[in-house]
Amino acid sequence: MSKIVLYGPIAAPFTRKVQGALALKKLPYEFIEPQSPEDYRRWNPETGLLPLIDVDGDRVHDSAHILDLLDARFPDPPLVASDPKVAQSQRRLEQWAEAAFTFYWIHYLRGLVNADEGGPPSHPGLAGEFAQRLDDLVNFLGARPFFYADLPGRADLAVWSYLSGLRQAVGPEVADVMETRVALIEHSARVSALANG
């Protein structure tokens, strides 16, 4: 039995994505959360970013690289489809989700801080643009239970980790925009049932 230790902040989507992958693969692991900013650099001297995983002494950081490592070491079930074209779409959507939703998350949080300080919101059109990104996802999903496939994969974990975190982290305006995208709510529920360990 391999010894797996995951280091990361529990609230971060990148950490949740890796936890979802470990749950899908039914891999037991120890989870250690940072207690101070110094822990990030101490655990990952290369970039100072978490999550980082240690599998039997091999340490890998960056959630996408961690999923690659998990698939290489523990291939069942795989996190990408066996069809290379579908696998490419799943990887692309994973990257798209990170780029798109990190942007909205940061701008939303910055807007909250600005509002607290009496300044203008940093990005007034945010909710409208965010709604468009959600509609993009609804289109990508189409009638399938998971993105591009009938089985869950890394694209599902990436989208789920962002959307479940966003629903908790942001205010009612954005949460409302999400509630009306029923296909995404149902997708999140399907992934949660499998990836919440």
Ligand X SMILES: N[C@@H](CCC(=O)N[C@@H](CS)C(=O)NCC(=O)O)C(=O)O
Q: Is the Cα torsion angle 134, 137, 139, 144 positive or negative in sign?
A: negative
The DSSP call for residue 130 is: H
Closer to ligand X by CB, 37 or 118: give it.
Answer: 37
DSSP letters for 40-80: HHHH-TTT--S-EEEETTEEEESHHHHHHHHHHH--SS-SS
The correct pick among 7, 21, 24, 51 for binding ligand X (CB under 6 A) is 51
Residue type, position 27, single letter: L
57-116: which residues touch ligand X (CB under 6 A)?
62-64
Site string for ligand X, 4-43 (x = CB under 6 A): -----x--x-x-------------------------x---
Q: Which residues contact 189 (CB under 8 A, 6 or more apart)?
A: none
Q: Does 162 bind ligand X (CB under 6 A)?
A: no
Q: How far is the CB of 150 from ligand X (least distance, A)?
A: 26
| Site residues for ligand X per CB under 6 A | 9, 12, 14, 40, 48-51, 62-64
